Amino acid sequence: MAFKREPIHDLKQAGLVARKYCDYQERCHSEVLKRLRDMGLGQAACDSLLGELIIEGYLSESRFALAYASGKCRIKHWGPYKITHALRQKHVDEGCITEALKPLMDEAFPEALQALMTRRLARIPSSESSSERKNNVWKYANTYGYAGDDIARTWALLKGG
């Protein structure tokens, strides 16, 4: 989304706008940097302002990664691979990605996968053969970023053993 207003050349004014932008929700560095560039700020001013935002606690890559990962898992039922890919596209540090996924691995991802597969299974006509249903659900779960062994384990749970 491009910044529609006139360019801001005053660093104080840009700082206020950036702080409000970061206050609204967690942001990654690349989102804030793009916003600052859309305001018409130069590279040196952007770097200076990013540093201030980090020091003041408005901007934290690890906090963003954790909020993003838990939100996508809980609301959209995304798996670890899809979340990792999305965070990499936002240029989030690998260490932050790993730390954000750790708390979700034991409970949140298996629950999300089971909900996702159950919902998909309910939408497939019962006239399809068992192998077609399994293949359909498997592909669907795979596109949401889950590994094959996790899908197999959840399929076994859904089918009762």
Q: Give residue-wise pLDDT tens across range 89-133.
A: 999 999 999 999 999 998 999 999 999 999 999 999 988 888 999
Place of tokens 């399994």: 134
Residue 11 has what pLDDT? 86
Tell me the C-alpha to C-alpha distance, in Å, between residue 14 and each of 28, 29, 37, 114, 159.
Answer: 17, 16, 10, 45, 56
**CA–CA dist 93, 152 (Å, integer):** 30
The predicted pLDDT at position 2 comes to 55
Closest by CA position to 140, among listed 109, 116, 105, 110: 116
Under 8 Å CB-to-CB from 95, ≥6 apart: which residues? none
Count Cβ atoms below 10 Å from residue 14 Cβ, excluding itself.
Answer: 20
Model pLDDT, residue 108: 93
What share of the chain in percent tops pLDDT 70?
96
Q: 66 or 128: whose pLDDT is higher?
A: 66
Residue-wise pLDDT tens digits, 39-55:
888 899 999 999 999 99
Q: Would you give the end-to-end CA distance of the chain in angstroms?
A: 48
Total number of residues shown for the chain: 161
Task: Provide the pLDDT confidence category of residue 8 given band limits of 50, 70 and 90.
Answer: confident
